[in-house]
């Protein structure tokens, strides 16, 4: 089959009639749903002065708005906006400061872009204000553990919810983390957190799980997670993976953050093959091209081989 040059989105639309579609998983976000029948890109927009890769780059309001629009144009399916760095060793910021950073950007972008907005926060007051001004997803690194009031905000507003695994808090999570059985411990964490959320009245269909690459993990833990992602599929919810330019890539390749794009691409392609569906990345355009290409190979070659 030959397809003339076009945007990736148009190519996908052209290819759909030829492709045997995967089982579609629905992710409920507020009053709508995202149907996950292909890899989805979540573009990162950090409105912080100290995030490990892009800290300070979009701390200015105008630059943040400009980057948000650019993320959509580059092909992201979701944009994830955060106002507090969660890099290893980072200290938390106040609710007031986090609200000041993210709420104006979320409110403006929600009127300017068509893709859903996620707010990367574990604080209930930040989440509530974000959902009131246009966010449709809450990305909680704590798995509903750092702020006990967040569950009530989720219950009231019914956003999509990302439950991430972390061992410890950002300030101390990389101080000698240890697991006897990395995969089983994280798997059991997700089972318990889903049971808790559902018991509290949260719809299972609104939940996505994230194993938390780099959050209280040794190098070997990160590698084991990527290799064994398929085991988390038994939980029955979509898997999000966030490897973008993280330190485990730098350790393996001996490279600084600005030179970790190739390692990031390799990690997300392997993660997709092993079962991940959503990919949180800084480099939207490059990640989308790599994942779309991987998707097409499996779908077209799979159909031809039948």
DSSP-assigned states of every residue in the chain: ----S--HHHHHHHHTTTS-PPPPEEEEETTEEEEESS-EEEEEEE--S--TTTTTTT-SHHHHHHHHHHHHHTT-SEEEEESS--STTPPP--HHHHHHHHHHHHHHHHHH-SS-EEEE---HHHHHHHHHTT--EEEETTSS-S-TTHHHHHHHH--EEEEE--SS-TTTTTSS---SSHHHHHHHHHHHHHHHHHHTT--GGGEEEE--TTSS--HHHHHHHHHTGGGGGGG-S-BEE--TT-HHHHHHHT--GGG-HHHHHHHHHHHHHTT--EEEES-HHHHHHHHHHHHHHHHHHHHHT-
pTM: 0.89
As beta bridge partners, residue 241 has 279
Task: Name the band, by pLDDT with cuts 50, 70 and 90, for residue 168.
Answer: confident
Top pLDDT among 55 and 63 is at 63
The rounded distance, in Å, linking the Cα atoms of 196 and 2 is 50
Q: Which fold has domain 39-304?
A: TIM Barrel (3.20.20)
Task: Name the band, by pLDDT with cuts 50, 70 and 90, for residue 162.
Answer: very high
Q: Which of 78-87, 181-190, 241-250 shows the lowest mean pLDDT across its residues?
A: 78-87
The rounded distance, in Å, linking the Cα atoms of 93 and 82 is 12
pLDDT at 2 over 50: no
Phi/psi at 20 (nearest 5 deg)?
A: -75, 110
The rounded distance, in Å, linking the Cα atoms of 164 and 298 is 28
Q: Kindly state the percentage of the chain with pLDDT values over 90.
A: 76
Return the domain boundaries, the chain: 39-304
154 alpha-carbon distance from chain centroid: 18
Phi/psi at 132 (nearest 5 deg)?
A: -70, -30
Top pLDDT among 79 and 11 is at 79
CA distances in angstroms from 223 to 92, 94, 144, 201, listed in the order given? 28, 33, 25, 34
- 95-138 tens-digit pLDDT: 999 999 999 999 999 999 999 999 999 999 999 999 999 999 99
Task: Name the band, by pLDDT with cuts 50, 70 and 90, for residue 224.
Answer: very high
pLDDT at 209 over 50: yes
pLDDT at 306 over 50: no
Catalytic residues: 246, 280
């Amino acid at each position: 089959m030959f397809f003339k040059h076009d945007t990736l989105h148009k190519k996908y639309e052209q290819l759909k009639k030829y492709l045997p579609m995967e089982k579609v998983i629905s992710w409920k976000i507020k009053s709508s749903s995202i149907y996950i029948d292909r890899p989805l890109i979540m573009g990162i927009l950090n409105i912080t002065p100290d995030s490990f890769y892009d800290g300070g780059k979009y701390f200015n309001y105008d630059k943040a708005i400009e980057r948000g629009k650019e993320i959509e144009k580059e092909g992201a399916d979701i944009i994830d906006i955060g106002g507090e760095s969660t890099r290893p060793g980072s200290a938390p910021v106040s609710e007031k400061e986090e609200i000041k950073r993210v709420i104006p950007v979320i409110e403006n972008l929600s009127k300017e872009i068509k893709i859903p907005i996620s707010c990367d926060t574990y604080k209930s007051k930040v989440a509530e204000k974000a959902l009131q001004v246009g966010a449709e997803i809450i990305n909680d690194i704590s798995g509903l553990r750092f702020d006990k009031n967040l569950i009530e905000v989720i219950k009231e507003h019914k956003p999509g919810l990302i439950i991430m695994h972390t061992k410890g808090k950002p300030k101390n999570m990389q101080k000698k983390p240890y697991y006897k059985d990395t995969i089983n411990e994280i798997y059991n964490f997700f089972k318990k957190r889903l049971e808790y959320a559902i018991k509290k009245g949260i719809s299972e269909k609104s939940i996505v799980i994230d194993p938390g690459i780099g959050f209280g993990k040794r190098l070997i833990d990160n590698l084991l997670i990527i290799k064994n992602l398929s085991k988390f599929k038994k939980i029955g919810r979509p898997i999000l993976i966030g490897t973008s330019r993280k330190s485990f890539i730098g350790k393996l390749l001996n490279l600084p953050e600005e030179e970790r794009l190739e390692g990031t691409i390799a990690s997300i392609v392997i993660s997709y093959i092993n079962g991940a569906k959503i990919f949180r990345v800084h480099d939207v355009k490059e990640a989308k091209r790599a994942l779309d290409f991987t998707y097409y190979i499996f779908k077209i070659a799979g159909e031809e081989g039948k």
